[in-house]
């Protein structure tokens, strides 16, 4: 059962002339249905899909998966007017979930590694004080229990999947921006398997992506962002899917086209 049903936008006349309301896909957006266990936002870079995802996360007061409070994140300062003009309609308000940009994950993994090293050093430094050393060792054990192996000991894809396995729970709302940035095609399939398992246990996902593999998730609602606004689209009608299929069917044809274009210049 999806928790978040839809959103409404009602910016003032003055707000509509500035960013992010000036983004073509968002300019005339008034209401958007999100009543699906999995909703994908798809579009070119700069089309507004990540901007809207950030605004929903702010409005829903979702925590950042990497720990930095979203309201203190300077990188999404510009989307606050969009969140301020937004109303969210809930079927049931969930307390679980998070927001994550794949690009933030790698910084988080590095910070986690440094934290583990710091705790190990403190255990050694306080070896003569069992209470302090024991406390630090317990903190280090808690990291291991939650995240398993050092995330940097694994490949990017493995560590990303491990992170999700450790953080996702049933009955949560998860907003994820371009998870394919951390995943090979094979790992994307693993992510889909993980996604289906959590969705079957009553979780809801809104994911911004370029990946035809992820977009193939069965039953997902796909919303495309372009100059004409935001609208539903079928998987088979996606430009991302058409281009990928055509390229894989005959890569040489594309390179011949590139050569012809270069010769014309």
Question: Residue range 4-32: average pLDDT?
Answer: 91
The beta-carbon contacts of 59-63 under 8 Å, at least 24 apart in sequence, are 59/7, 59/83, 59/86, 59/88, 60/4, 60/88, 60/97, 60/173, 60/175, 62/97, 62/98, 62/99, 62/173, 62/175, 63/97, 63/98, 63/99
166 vs 187, higher pLDDT: 187
Q: Is residue 120 part of a domain?
A: no
Task: Count structural domains, the chain.
Answer: 1
Judging by DSSP bridges, how do beta strands 172-177 and 204-208 pair with one another?
Answer: parallel
Question: Residue range 227-248: average pLDDT?
Answer: 92
Evaluate if residue 111 carries a pLDDT over 70: no
Q: Is residue 50 part of a domain?
A: yes
Q: Is residue 246 part of a domain?
A: no
Q: Give the pLDDT confidence of 240-250 residue by residue, as tens digits.
A: 899 989 888 88
Q: Give the pLDDT confidence of 32-65 residue by residue, as tens digits.
A: 999 899 999 999 999 999 999 999 999 999 988 7
- Kindly indicate the confidence band of residue 89, based on its pLDDT and cuts at 50, 70 and 90: very high
Q: Where are the alpha helices (DSSP H) in the chain?
A: 24-27, 49-59, 80-84, 102-125, 130-147, 156-167, 185-199, 212-215, 239-249, 251-264
Q: Provide the pLDDT for residue 222.
A: 97
Q: Is residue 254 part of a domain?
A: no
Phi first, then psi: what are they for 2, rounded to 5°? -65, 140
Q: Is residue 239 part of a domain?
A: no
Evaluate if residue 149 carries a pLDDT over 60: no
Here the CATH number for the domain that contains residue 94 is 3.40.50.300
Question: Residue range 102-114: average pLDDT?
Answer: 65
* Structural domain harbouring 81: 4-103+170-233
> Which of 82-86, 97-101, 162-166, 210-214 is least confident?
162-166
Evaluate if residue 263 carries a pLDDT over 70: no
Q: Is residue 155 part of a domain?
A: no
Question: Residue range 169-180: average pLDDT?
Answer: 89
Q: Provide the pLDDT for residue 258.
A: 67
- Kindly indicate the confidence band of residue 10, based on its pLDDT and cuts at 50, 70 and 90: very high
Q: Is residue 238 part of a domain?
A: no
Q: Is residue 63 part of a domain?
A: yes
Report if pTM > 0.75: yes
Answer for the pair 54, 231: CB distance below 8 angstroms, yes or no: no
Answer for the pair 51, 85: CB distance below 8 angstroms, yes or no: no
């Amino acid at each position: 059962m999806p928790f978040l049903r839809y959103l409404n936008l009602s910016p003032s006349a003055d707000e509509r002339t500035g960013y992010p309301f000036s983004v073509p896909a968002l300019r005339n957006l008034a209401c958007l249905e999100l009543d699906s266990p999995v909703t994908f936002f798809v579009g070119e870079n700069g089309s507004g899909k990540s901007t809207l995802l950030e605004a929903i996360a702010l409005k829903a007061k979702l925590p950042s998966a990497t720990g930095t409070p979203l309201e203190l994140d300077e990188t999404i300062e510009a989307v606050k007017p969009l969140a301020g003009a937004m109303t969210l309609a809930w079927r049931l308000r969930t307390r679980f979930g998070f927001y994550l940009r794949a690009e933030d994950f790698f910084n988080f993994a590095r910070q986690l590694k440094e934290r583990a090293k710091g705790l190990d050093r403190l255990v050694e430094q306080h070896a003569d004080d069992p209470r302090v050393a024991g406390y630090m060792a317990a903190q280090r054990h808690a990291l291991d229990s939650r995240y398993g192996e050092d995330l940097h000991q694994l490949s990017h894809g493995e560590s990303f999947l491990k992170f999700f396995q450790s953080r996702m729970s049933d009955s949560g709302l998860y907003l994820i921006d371009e998870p394919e940035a951390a995943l090979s095609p094979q790992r994307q399939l693993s992510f889909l398997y993980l996604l289906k398992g959590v969705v079957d246990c009553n979780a809801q996902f809104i994911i911004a992506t370029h990946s035809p593999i992820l977009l193939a998730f069965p039953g997902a609602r796909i919303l495309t962002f372009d100059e004409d606004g935001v609208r539903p689209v079928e998987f088979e009608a996606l430009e991302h899917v058409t281009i990928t299929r055509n390229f894989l069917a005959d890569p040489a044809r594309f390179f011949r086209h590139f050569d012809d274009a270069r010769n014309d210049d």
